[in-house]
Amino acid sequence: MPEASRKSTDAIHDGVDVVPKDGVTKSQDLWFDDGNIVLQAESTVFKVHRTVLALNSTVFRDMFGVAHPEDGEQLADCPLVDVLDKSDDMWLFLKAMYTPGYCETVVDFPQVASMLRLASKYDVKYFRTLSVAKLRTVCPTDFSVWNRNPAVSHPDKLLTLARECGIRILLPAAMYQCCLLGQDYIIDHVPAREDVKLCLTGRQKIIDAWRKMVDPTSEDGSIFRYSRSSCCQQQMRALMLEPIIWAIMLDSKIHVHDADALEKISSAAWQRLCVDCASSLRRNVEGARKVIWNKLPGFFGLPAWDELKKEMESEGSPN
- Written as one string, the DSSP assignment of 66-81 is H--GGGS-EETTEEEE
Residue 219's pLDDT is: 63
At residue 119, the pLDDT reads: 97
| 94: nearest Cα among 114, 74, 72, 79 | 114
Same domain, 45 and 79: yes
In this prediction, residue 263 carries a pLDDT of 67
What is the pLDDT, as a whole number, of residue 41? 96
Domain assignment of residue 305, yes or no: no
Sites in the chain below the pLDDT cut of 50: 1-19, 256-257
C-alpha count within 13 angstroms, C-beta hemisphere, residue 28: 1
Task: Look at residue 101 in the predicted model and tell me its pLDDT.
Answer: 94
Interhelix angle for 193-214 vs 171-180, to 10°? 70
Same-domain pairing of 198 and 250: no
pLDDT, residue 300, reads 97
Helix or strand run (H / E) with residue 29: strand 25-31
The residue segments making up the domain with residue 32 are: 3-96
Euclidean distance between CA atoms 1 and 74, whole angstroms: 20
Q: Which residues contact 223 (CB under 8 A, 6 or more apart)?
A: 213, 214, 265, 281, 284, 285, 287, 288
Residue 7's pLDDT is what? Answer: 36
Answer whether residue 318 is part of any domain: no
Sorted by sequence, the CB contacts under 8 Å of residue 30 that are 6+ apart come out as 46, 47, 48, 91, 94, 95, 98
224 with 240: CB under 8 angstroms? yes
Does some domain include residue 11? yes
Final residue before a domain boundary, out of 204, 228, 259? 204
Identify the pLDDT of residue 167: 96
Q: Is residue 91 part of a domain?
A: yes
Does 138 lie in the same domain as 89? no
End-to-end CA distance of the chain: 64
- Predicted local confidence at residue 242, as pLDDT: 72
Model pLDDT, residue 72:
76
- Over the stretch 146-167, which tens digit does the pLDDT of each residue have? 888 767 778 999 999 999 999 9
Residue 261 CA from chain centroid, whole number: 26
d(CA 73, CA 237): 80
| Domain limit, last residue, from 147, 174, 204 | 204
Q: Looking at the 3D structure of the chain, how many domains does it have?
A: 3
- pTM given for the model: 0.82
